Structures are given as C-alpha cells and as structure tokens.
C-alpha cells in the first residue's frame, strides 16, 4: 500500500503533458530536436528542466552555467513551493493567453514565464540571506528578458505576465494570486522614501498594458486597471479604473477579470 501511495504521489500530469507535447514537437520539427531534448526530454522532472533553462539563459562570462544550475537545483530541492508556483503560472498562461497552444511553449519560448521563474529563484535567495546573489539574478533577468523584478518583492502563484517587455516591480511590492499583467506595467514608488513604498495588488487583478501603479496603495481583489492608466490611490475590490490619474469608471465586468482578460471598458457598466 505504501508503495502504491508513493507511485500515485509521483504522478505529475503537467510534466507528463509537457513531455508528450515535446515528443510531438520533435516529430513535427526535427531541426528543434536537440533544443527540445536538452531543454525538456533529457530531464526527469519539471523542476530539473526549469533549473536547466534558468542556467542556460542567465549564464554569462561573470557566472557559469554550472554554478547557476547548482543554485537553481538547490532552490527547487529546498522549496517545493517553487515547483508548485511554476506549474500554476504555466497553467495560467495556457488558460489566458490565446497565443499559447501547448504547455511547452512558456518554458521554451515565453520570456514572461521564464523571467517570473527566475524571479522566484532570486526571491528564494533573498529569503536565505543571499542578497548579492539575488541581485545578480535580478540583473541578469533584466538584461536577458527586459523584466526587472526586485528579489524582495512578493508575488503569488498563477500569475501571467504577457509579452513582459519593460515590466518593473519594486522592492516592497506585493502581487496576489491569479494576477494577469501585460507589457510595460510598472509597480513603482513615488519618491525616495526607504520604507514600504510600492503597491499591493490583490488576487485576480488584471493590469493592462502600460499601466503605472505608484506608491504604497492597495488594489482590491478582482479589479481591472485599464491600459495606459496611472494609478495613485487605492482601488476597491471588483472595480475598473482608467485614466491619468486613474478614476473608478465602473465595475470590473466579471468575477474573474484576470482570467477572462477582457479589457474593453464598454463591458464595465461605466458610471457617469
């Protein structure tokens, strides 16, 4: 019975699906065979594949691939939550991004997903007191992916960063679970204060492209921030805000805006 329980525990439907898709991809495009085998099929678990991808993308003349691989393997081995968050993030991308047709795409091709997993390792390093190494990972992630997330920021699981170019998330920012944000989003401060100075984003929030959320403010659960908005004040739950500076223009339009990804203001029951 104990052996049966161990086998059941070892089942990983997300990784199984990725490997099935990888074999199909090699059949359909043999020229990518070496990349797909090295990046996916060579590895026994999703965590090992993510560690390989992390080290391959972030290695440089200053830090070898081998050292980064050891760091990532250590992180995934010490904190099972990293692997769980990676799976939740991957499913979020697949569910919400119409350009994502297979589970293997985020791991191999989507810089938003890869940058988020690199951030998660930098955050693990930060929590271990390895601040300089965390800063190094932040620097390389910014250089490689155009995504600058401070390692002290706290980000939940099931997060999608679509396109991801020019994303900036500050040191004391907090992002809840099941959040979706598009490119050029900034979660920043408003001055030189050194204490808690960045936004707190609730669960299920949708942040449109180019939106700037500034200061130690709270964005309520399941709210929407329209593209190009500059948010300087708290936003209640389940509301839509738009404009510069942003104002409440109506309801969120549905109970899960981050999942539905509907950014049209005509669906927000606008007030006034």
Domain ranges of the chain: 11-146, 153-271
Mean pLDDT for 134-160 is: 98
Asked whether 254 and 205 are in contact (CB, 8 A), the reply is: no
Nearest to residue 157, comparing CAs of 202, 92, 107? 92
pTM: 0.92
* 11-146 carries CATH number 3.30.160.60: no
| 3-class DSSP assignment, residue 140 | helix
Q: Report the C-alpha gap between 51 and 49 in whole angstroms.
A: 5
Q: Measured on CA atoms in the order 255, 260, 264, 267, is the torsion positive or negative?
A: negative
Burial class (CB in 10 A: 0-12, 13-18, 19+), 84: exposed
The three-state secondary structure class of 211 is coil
Ordered strands of the 247-251 beta sheet = 160-161, 180-181, 206-207, 224-225, 239-242, 247-251
DSSP letter at 234 equals: -
Pick the CATH number of 153-271 from 3.40.190.10, 2.160.10.10, 3.40.50.1370, 2.40.50.140: 2.160.10.10
- The pLDDT assigned to 2 comes to 53
Q: Are the C-beta atoms of 86 and 106 separated by less than 8 Å?
A: no
Per-residue confidence at 268, pLDDT binned at 50, 70, 90? Answer: low
pLDDT per position as a tens digit, 72-103: 999 999 999 999 999 999 999 999 999 999 99
pLDDT tens digits, 8-56:
457 899 999 999 999 999 999 999 999 999 999 999 999 999 999 999 9
SS3 184: coil
Q: With cut-offs at 50, 70 and 90, classify the pLDDT of residue 253.
A: confident
Residue pair 31/120 in contact (Cβ under 8 Å)? The answer is no
In a 3-state reduction of DSSP, which class is residue 186? strand
Paired sense of beta strands 230-231 and 212-214, if any: parallel
For residues 71 and 120, is the Cβ–Cβ distance under 8 A?
Answer: no
pLDDT of the residue at 261: 87
């Amino acid at each position: 019975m104990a052996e049966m329980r161990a086998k059941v525990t070892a089942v990983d439907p997300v990784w199984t699906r990725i490997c099935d898709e990888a074999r199909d991809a090699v059949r359909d495009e043999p020229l990518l065979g070496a990349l797909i085998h090295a990046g996916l099929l060579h590895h026994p678990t999703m965590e090992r594949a993510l560690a390989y991808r992390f080290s391959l993308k972030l290695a440089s003349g200053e830090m070898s691939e081998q050292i980064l691989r050891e760091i990532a393997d250590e992180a995934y081995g010490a904190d099972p939550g990293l692997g769980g968050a990676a799976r939740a993030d991957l499913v979020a991308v697949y569910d919400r991004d119409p350009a994502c047709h297979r589970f293997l795409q985020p791991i191999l091709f989507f810089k938003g997903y890869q940058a988020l997993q690199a951030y998660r390792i930098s955050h693990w390093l930060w929590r271990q007191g390895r601040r300089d190494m965390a800063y190094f990972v932040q620097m390389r992630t910014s250089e490689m992916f155009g995504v600058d997330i401070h390692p002290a920021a706290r980000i939940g699981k099931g997060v999608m960063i679509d396109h991801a170019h020019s994303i900036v998330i500050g040191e004391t920012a907090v992002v809840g679970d099941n959040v979706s944000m598009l490119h050029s989003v900034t979660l920043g401060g408003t001055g030189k204060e050194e204490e808690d100075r960045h936004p707190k984003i609730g669960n299920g929030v949708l942040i449109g492209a180019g939106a700037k959320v500034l200061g130690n403010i709270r964005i309520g659960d399941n709210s929407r921030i329209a593209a190009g908005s500059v948010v300087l004040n708290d936003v209640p739950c389940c509301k839509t805000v738009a404009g510069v500076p942003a104002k409440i223009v109506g309801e969120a339009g549905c109970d899960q805006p981050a999942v539905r990804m509907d950014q049209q203001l005509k669906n927000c029951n606008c007030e006034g």
